[in-house]
Amino acid sequence: MFKFNIRNSEIGETIKRAALAFVIKVMGAGLAFIFNLMLARIIGADGSGIYFLALTITTITTVLGRMGLDNSLLRFVAAGAATKDWSSVKGVYNKSISLSFLVSLLAASIVFIFADFLTNNLFSKPELLQPLRLMIFAAVPMSLLLLNAQAILGLKKISESQLINSVGVQTIIIIGVITIGRKMGINGVMYSYLAGAIFIAFISHLLWKYNTPQLKNITGEFDTRKLLDSCLPLFWVSSMNIMMNWTGTFLLGIWGSSSDVGIFSIAVRNAMLISFILHAVNAASSAKYSELYHLGDISGFAYYAKKTTIILILISTPICLFFVICSKWIMGLFGASFIQGWDLLTILAIAQFLNVAAGSVGPILMMSGNEVAVRNSIFFSAVLNLILCMLLIPDYGTLGAACANSISLVSANLYCIFEIKRRLGFSLYMFTPSKERQI
């Protein structure tokens, strides 16, 4: 019989943490749905397309500003907290925040300067210029708040981290849309986004200080080379992941209309609601994976991974069925012009279900020091997505973008599942005796 080195109480602990993260993720998903609904109703498909194009460029800038430091920060903070090495925790935090601030500010400034070229020459949408310039500097506080959220998650403070990630900015944006969005249109939405990012970045810093009183009177020390060796592969992971997720929107902005971008983006965001359970479990599990691997308990690591995968499949199945069966009704909530995107939602929902059913493959590999494997999987799928988008979008428009996105997402997960078996010695779907590799 298969023997595990981890107590059942650990799984119970994960379920409790995942349940808390799940509740907050549900709140965040609900707020995101409300915001998308309000956005579509107030500024329509064309206005939504402009917003999501500006958001795409800002998100890419934010990824550049984070430099892959978010997952490295989670990993090293979790490991340092587990061993009470608070000097390394302070050191890695300070270096990560400083690097991210400088790089994100530089990247946002470059985009601001070349915004006229991007909007007029690349996208041929001059109406994008002012919204982009209003939103782009939100990349700086967004980078910092995301780093703070991951650092807090490394301390196993699930609720605080998820409130920053899932609820904070969305809440401020919705308030802004209600108060000034109806009067100022898309520019009001952009001001709201910027204000929300700045406010929540400040709150996230206060939460980090509150949760780390141990750091007050110690000197932070952490090897910069070790940090860069970890974060740079993850930077390419984040870059390729953004490329995979946003290539469809970006190329539709070039080859399609603003309305195409708006309809496709709403379908993508609706489908991604299926994966919020995955993000909740990842938030509850990532620090634990780092701790188990750091302690050398590979059997417990494997058991933990397999049990969470089963939980993910059981919860996500009925959610996916709802989205597939009710796709026309869901898209119709955003307005008559969005109903035509029901087939996009169906395709993307199935892909997101397969993404969830694959399990926490990314955190499993990253928290076990296999960042390169994640980088390779994302690189392969991002390139595949780019090729498929270039082949399909010119002839099939939004449908081609949905198919390209779905195929590349499933491919990335299949690769990660194979790498877990090859590098760590266990399968996420096998509970028979296996030869997990010792650390």
Q: Which positions ≥6 away from 404 have C-beta within 8 Å? A: 247, 248, 385, 388, 389, 392, 393
Report the pLDDT value the prediction gives residue 24, as an integer from 0 to 100: 76
Angle, alpha carbons 375-379-381 (nearest 5°) = 120
Least confident stretch, 114-123, 132-141, 156-165, 411-420: 156-165
Q: How far apart are CA 71 and CA 177, in angstroms?
A: 32
pLDDT tier for residue 5 given thresholds of 50, 70 and 90: very low
Mean pLDDT of 136-152: 93
Neighbours of 377 (CB within 10 A): 25
- CA distances from residue 124 to 115, 119, 392 in whole angstroms, order as listed: 12, 6, 21
The pLDDT of residue 436: 47
Mean pLDDT lowest among 101-115, 162-176, 314-328: 162-176
pLDDT beyond 70 at 435: no
pLDDT in tens, 58-76: 999 998 888 888 888 988 8
- Amino acid 110 reads I
Is the pLDDT score of 26 beyond 80?
no
Strongest mean pLDDT among 2-6, 74-78, 174-178:
74-78
CB 351 within 8 A of CB 405: yes
Look up residue 222 and give its two tokens.
């952490």
Nearest to 148 by CA among 87, 214, 226, 70: 70
Q: Please state, rounded to an integer, the average pLDDT across all residues of the chain.
A: 85
Between 19-23, 356-360, 430-434, the lowest mean confidence (pLDDT) is in 430-434
**Tokens read off for 198:** 């700045």
pLDDT score of 432 more than 50 = no
pLDDT at 348: 96
Helix orientation angle between 139-154 and 8-66, rounded to the nearest 10 degrees: 160
CA distance linking residue 340 with residue 332, whole number of Å: 9
pLDDT of 181 higher than 80: no
How is residue 150 written in tokens?
Answer: 């991951």
Of 158-167, 265-274, 386-395, give the lowest mean pLDDT range: 158-167
Long-range contacts of 216-222 (CB under 8 A, 24+ apart): 218/86, 218/87, 218/90, 219/87, 219/90, 220/87, 220/88, 220/89, 220/90, 220/91, 220/92, 220/93, 220/94, 220/95, 221/87, 221/88, 221/90, 221/91, 222/76, 222/88, 222/91, 222/92, 222/95
* Residue 154 predicted with pLDDT over 90: no
Please report which confidence band the pLDDT of residue 9 belongs to, taking 50, 70 and 90 as the band edges: low
Neighbours of 130 (CB within 10 A): 16
Mean pLDDT calculated for residue range 29-51: 87
pLDDT at 234 over 90: no
CA distance 416 to 321: 25
Q: At 293, which amino acid appears?
A: Y
pLDDT at 283 over 80: no
* 219 CB neighbour count, 10 Å cutoff: 8
410, 384 in Cβ contact below 8 A?
A: no
Least confident of 94-103, 237-246, 266-275, 333-342: 237-246
pLDDT at 438: 43
Question: 273 near 33, Cβ under 8 Å?
Answer: yes
Q: Cβ distance 40 to 183 under 8 Å?
A: no
The arithmetic mean of pLDDT across residues 266-288, rounded, is: 82
Pick from 95, 98, 93, 196: nearest CA to 141: 196
- pLDDT digit string, tens, across residues 207-226: 999 999 988 888 888 888 88
Question: Do 247 and 389 form a contact (C-beta atoms < 8 A)?
Answer: yes
- Backbone angles phi and psi of 289, in degrees to 5: -60, -45
* pTM as predicted: 0.75
